[in-house]
Amino acid sequence: MKEVFRSLSGRAMLRAAREMVPELQPGDLTSSQSGVRAQAVGKDGRMLDDFHFVRSGRTLHVLNAPSPAATASLLIGEHIFDMLVVD
- Sequence-distant (6+) residues with CB within 8 A of 34 are 7, 8
Q: Which amino acid is at 53?
A: F
- Overall pTM surpassing 0.75 (yes/no): no
For residues 42 and 44, give the distance between their C-alpha atoms in angstroms, rounded to a whole number. Answer: 5
Residue type, 2: K
Chain Cα centroid distance, residue 57: 24
Quick: pLDDT tens for 28-62: 988 877 666 677 888 898 888 788 888 888 888 88
Q: Where are the domains of the chain?
A: 1-36, 52-86
Residue 15 has pLDDT above 60, yes or no: yes
The DSSP output letter for 58 is T
